[in-house]
């Protein structure tokens, strides 16, 4: 199967239309497309964790706990929540770290992404006074990673890069959270031509977009910063398939 390549040329002031046959790109039939899509959905490309298959009080299966900074390890525990976006369980976490630069991570085992698209639902306590949490990506180990951190008390989102335990803020913006208990956080690492950038969305709105060429393939997961308690649900992770064309669509 082949694609037909169309060409328009101008000869002696007149338009000439021709069709060329190309063997370079194969055309897929509908059956082949469906088979390829099914193949892409296998082998761990599309991952979703609702934490509903485990019992309340258990440690989440398929994840490893990392982190740095003085203080006790965080308590990551499955717990029942009938009002969860995906009932009936959520992943709750409590960290007693006092330092702002104390990070506690939980990352999915056996999965690595170069251009991750990660989203999660999150709920902060009504009386949240400090700390924050969000998604972590490009994780090499407990001291080398990227993160998008929501501080609901300060009403900010910050994208950070941590290398050997040293934190660099790549971008920080104010947010106006919706008046709902559960919020949505999403990050995408995208690329256009030679530029790589990270886009962060909160409650469906693009909040922070930063360029960064240093991000390498790594694990993804969740994190909390400082003294924090919150709940997570419906964690999704896929390799990003670019949604952006290389140029604007033609006017005709």
Residue 19 has pLDDT above 80, yes or no: no
DSSP 114: S
- pLDDT of 170 strictly over 90: yes
SS3 40: helix
The string of pLDDT tens digits covering residues 36-90 is 444 443 345 789 999 999 999 999 999 999 988 888 899 999 999 989 999 899 9
Phi, psi for 242 (deg, rounded to 5): -55, 135
Q: pTM for this structure?
A: 0.77
Q: What is the DSSP string of 190-219?
A: EEETTEEEEEEEETTEEEEEEE-S---SBE
Decide which of 2.60.120.560, 2.30.42.10, 3.40.50.360, 3.90.1150.200 is the CATH code for 48-239: 2.60.120.560
pLDDT at 31 over 80: no
Percentage of the chain surpassing pLDDT 90?
54
The residue with greater pLDDT, 223 or 8, is 223
> Lowest-confidence range among 71-80, 153-162, 165-174, 210-219?
210-219
pLDDT in tens, 79-124: 999 899 998 999 999 998 877 778 999 999 999 998 899 999 999 8
**pLDDT over 60 (residue 240):** yes
16 vs 99 pLDDT, higher one: 99
Output 127 or 221, whichever has higher pLDDT: 221
Domain-by-domain residue ranges, the chain?
3-40, 48-239
Contact 97, 227 (CB under 8 A): yes
- Give pLDDT, residue 66: 94
Q: Are 131 and 149 in contact (CB under 8 A)?
A: no
């Amino acid at each position: 199967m082949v694609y037909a390549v169309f060409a328009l040329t101008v000869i002696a002031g007149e338009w000439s239309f021709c069709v060329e046959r190309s063997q370079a790109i194969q055309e897929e039939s509908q059956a082949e497309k469906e088979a390829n899509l099914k193949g892409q959905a296998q082998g761990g490309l599309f991952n979703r964790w609702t934490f509903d298959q485990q019992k309340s009080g258990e440690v989440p299966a398929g994840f490893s706990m990392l982190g740095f900074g003085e203080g006790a390890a965080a308590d990551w525990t499955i717990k029942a929540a009938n009002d969860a976006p995906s009932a009936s369980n959520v992943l709750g976490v409590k960290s007693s770290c006092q330092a702002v630069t104390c990070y506690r991570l939980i990352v999915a085992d056996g999965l690595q992404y170069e251009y991750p698209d990660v989203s999660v639902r999150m709920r902060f306590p009504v009386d949240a006074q400090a700390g924050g949490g969000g998604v972590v990506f490009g994780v090499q180990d407990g001291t080398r990673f990227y993160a998008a951190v929501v501080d609901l008390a300060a009403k900010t989102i910050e994208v950070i890069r941590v290398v050997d335990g040293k934190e660099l803020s790549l971008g920080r913006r104010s947010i106006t959270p919706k008046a709902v208990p559960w919020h949505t956080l999403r990050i995408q690492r995208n690329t256009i031509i030679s530029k790589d950038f990270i886009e962060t969305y909160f409650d469906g709105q693009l909040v922070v977009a930063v360029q960064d060429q240093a991000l390498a393939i790594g694990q993804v997961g969740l994190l909390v910063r400082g003294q924090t308690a919150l709940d997570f649900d419906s964690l999704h992770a896929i390799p990003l398939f670019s949604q952006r064309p290389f140029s604007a669509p033609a006017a005709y």
